[in-house]
Amino acid sequence: MLCALAAAPTLAQSARPLRVVASFSILADIVRNVGGDDVEVAALVGPGADAHVFQPSPADALRLAQAQLVLINGLGFEGWLDRLVSASGYRGPVVVASKGIAARLRGSEPDPHAWQDLSNAVRYAENVRDALSLARPASTAHFEQRAAIYIQQFQALDDKVRARFFAVSKDSRKIITSHGAFGYFGAAYGVEFLAPQGMSTDSEASAAVVARLIDQIRHQDVRAIFVENITDPRLVERIAREGGAAVGGRLYSDALSPPGTEADTYLKLFAHNALTITSALSAGQH
Ligand SMILES: [Zn+2]
C-alpha cells in the first residue's frame, strides 16, 4: 500500500486547521462552535452586514479560492454565490447548511431565514458537523462531540424562550420589524411579524404597505415595533412616529453584532431577540 502511505497527510498537514468560508456571520459562528480549533472560519458577509444586497469584492474571491470547504445558508439567501464561486475558481464542496429543513413559503418563494428557529439550528449544526467530518475525517469524533454539546445549548435556550413566551398573554402578539426575517421565529413561538419590506431587503417598501402598518399602529393592533441591525432604521422609525408609537428596540435579523457586543454569537443573538420581544409584549400587559 505504498501509494496510500504516500497520500496520507503528514502530521503537520493534518494539524493545520481546515479553512472554511461561511457565507454570513451567523453561519460562521455555528461552524466555529462545531469545528473548534480544527477549523479556521471566515464569513463573506460579516457582522452587521446585509447578505440580501451583498456585493462580493475581489478579496472575497481570493478568500474563496483558498478555502477547503464552503458553507452557505441556501433557500435563495445567497443570490450572488454562483458568480462568486466561478470568479474565484474554487472547486471544492459547497454545502447547504439548511438542507433537510422544511422551508416556509411565501408564494412560491422559500423564506431563507430558517436560523430564526432553534429547532432548525439543530439541523444547521448537524449539517455543519457532517460537512466538516467529510472534509476532515480524522476529526470526526471531535466534531461529533462539540456538535452534541452545542445542540444541547440550543435545546436549553429553546426551553427558556418557550417559558418566557408562555408567560406572555396570547392576545395582541403583533410586532413590526423592517423586513420579513422572523417568519420562522413567529411560527415557533406564536408571534405575528409584520414588515414594510418583504423577505429580502433588495426592494423598496410599497406606500400601501407602509400606510397599512401605520393604520394598524393607530388602531393599537400592534404591540411593539423594532428596528433591525442590518437595515436602515429610518423607515421603521417613520412608521412608528406616524402611528404615534415608540420603537421598542433593535432585533438582530440576518447578522451578528460586532465581536465583543451583545449579539456576537448565534446563541446570544437568539437570546437577545427573545428577551427583547417578550419584554415588549409583557409591557402594558394587564
Ligand atoms: Zn433577511
Interval 73-87: pLDDT, tens: 999 999 999 999 999
User: Cα(154) to centroid of ligand 1, in Å?
Assistant: 21
Count CB-CB contacts under 10 A for residue 91: 8
Per DSSP, 261 falls in state S
**5-23: b (≥16 Cβ within 10 Å) or e:** eeeeeeeeeeeeebbbbbb
Enumerate the CATH 3.40.50.1980 domain ranges in the chain, comma separated. 16-160, 168-282
Count CB-CB contacts under 10 A for residue 51: 27
In CATH, what is the architecture of 16-160?
Answer: 3-Layer(aba) Sandwich (3.40)
Q: What is the mean pLDDT of the chain?
A: 92
| β-bridge partners, 71 | 22, 95
Residue 82 CB partners (closer than 8 Å, separation 6+): none
Q: Name the most confidently modeled range: 8-12, 32-36, 162-166, 240-244.
A: 32-36
| Residue 10 scores a pLDDT above 80 | no
User: Cα(230) to centroid of ligand 1, in Å?
Assistant: 8
What span, in angstroms and rounded, lies between the C-alpha atoms of 254 and 237? 19
Contact in structure between 169 and 285 (CB atoms under 8 Å): yes
User: Cα(203) to centroid of ligand 1, in Å?
Assistant: 12
User: Cα(173) to centroid of ligand 1, in Å?
Assistant: 21
Which residues are placed with Cβ below 5 angstroms of ligand 1, an ion? 181, 254
User: Cα(153) to centroid of ligand 1, in Å?
Assistant: 24
User: Cα(255) to centroid of ligand 1, in Å?
Assistant: 9
Confidence category of residue 14, pLDDT binned at 50, 70, 90: low
User: Cα(247) to centroid of ligand 1, in Å?
Assistant: 20
Which grid cell is 146? 462539540
Mean pLDDT in residue range 107-118: 96
Per DSSP, 53 falls in state G
User: Cα(192) to centroid of ligand 1, in Å?
Assistant: 16
What span, in angstroms and rounded, lies between the C-alpha atoms of 227 and 246? 11
User: Cα(111) to centroid of ligand 1, in Å?
Assistant: 9
Question: ∠ CA(58), CA(30), CA(121), 5° rounding?
Answer: 120
| Residue 286 scores a pLDDT above 50 | no
User: Cα(142) to centroid of ligand 1, in Å?
Assistant: 32
Supply the pLDDT for residue 1.
41
Task: Tell me the H-state helices in the chain.
Answer: 2-7, 11-15, 25-35, 58-65, 81-88, 118-135, 140-166, 183-189, 207-218, 234-243, 266-282
Supply the pLDDT for residue 206.
92
User: Cα(131) to centroid of ligand 1, in Å?
Assistant: 24
Please give the C-alpha separations between residue 106 and each of 75, 126, 215, 263, in angstroms, as whole numbers.
12, 26, 23, 28
Mean pLDDT in residue range 228-240: 93
Which CATH number applies to 168-282? 3.40.50.1980
This prediction's pTM: 0.93
First-to-last alpha carbon distance for the chain, in angstroms, is: 76
